[in-house]
């Protein structure tokens, strides 16, 4: 949900990359919950630096078979300018998209409108947006929430968990 972008909150989702204009920021509420209210400031506007959003090669952040995990070759990362300063400590947030939001053109629209970027800019948060891809066993490009990568799914040994562990270690 967003404060100003997407389909009407009670409408069938899909036209606007599954974002609902629900008069509140799901990004703000989730980061406030995860990091604590005292650590997150609500941005005064929707500013973010488009030059700080970059594509990256996901192969370096995943130790498994990237094709069997239905992960795309590329993902997006947003690094606020303040986080590029030497010695600056920043939070890291990994945002997993929903089904059918994997093509880079759709993902970029989702990323630019889900309200995480202004929060990242305001609060010094690096945000990683890994992308899946469509494969025969995962035609909607979903993250593995139903064990298509194997029986270890329920033990936390699945692609998004492995990606997050590797990203936390390397970023």
Residue 103 covered by a domain: yes
Q: List all residues 6 or more positions away from 129 whose beta carbon is below 8 Å from its beta carbon.
A: 75, 76, 77, 78, 94, 95, 97, 107, 111
> For the whole model, what pTM was predicted?
0.85
Secondary structure class of 142 (helix, strand, coil):
coil
Residue 66 covered by a domain: yes
pLDDT tens sequence across 101-138: 777 778 888 999 999 999 999 999 999 998 888 878 77
Residue 29 covered by a domain: no
Residue 107 covered by a domain: yes
Residue 37 covered by a domain: no
Residue 140 covered by a domain: yes
Q: Above pLDDT 90, what percent of the chain?
A: 36
pLDDT tens sequence across 20-76: 889 989 999 999 999 998 889 988 777 899 999 999 988 787 666 655 667 788 899
Total of domains in the chain: 1
- For residues 85 and 120, the answer to whether their CB atoms sit within 8 Å is no
CA distance 159 to 69: 6
Structural domain span for residue 83: 43-170
Residue 81 covered by a domain: yes
How many other C-beta atoms can be found within 10 angstroms of the C-beta atom of residue 96?
A: 16
Q: What is the mean pLDDT of residues 141-152?
A: 66
55 burial via Cβ count (<10 Å: 0-12, 13-18, 19+): middle
CA distance 38 to 156: 30
CA distance 77 to 89: 17
Residue 137 covered by a domain: yes
């Amino acid at each position: 949900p967003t404060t100003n972008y997407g389909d009407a909150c009670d409408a069938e989702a899909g036209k606007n990359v599954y974002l609902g204009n629900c008069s509140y920021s799901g990004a703000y509420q989730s980061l406030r919950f995860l990091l604590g209210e005292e650590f997150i400031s609500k941005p005064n506007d929707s500013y973010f630096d488009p030059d700080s959003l970059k594509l990256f090669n996901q192969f370096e952040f995943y130790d498994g078979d990237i094709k069997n995990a239905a992960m795309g070759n590329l993902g997006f990362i947003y690094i606020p300018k303040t986080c590029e300063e030497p010695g600056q400590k920043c939070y890291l947030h990994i945002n997993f998209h929903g089904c059918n939001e994997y093509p880079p053109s759709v993902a970029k629209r989702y990323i630019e409108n889900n309200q995480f970027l202004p929060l990242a800019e305001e609060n010094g948060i690096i945000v990683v947006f890994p992308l899946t891809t469509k494969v025969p066993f995962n035609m909607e490009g979903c993250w593995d929430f139903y064990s298509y990568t194997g029986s270890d799914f329920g033990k936390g040994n699945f692609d998004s968990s492995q990606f997050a562990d590797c990203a936390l270690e390397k970023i």
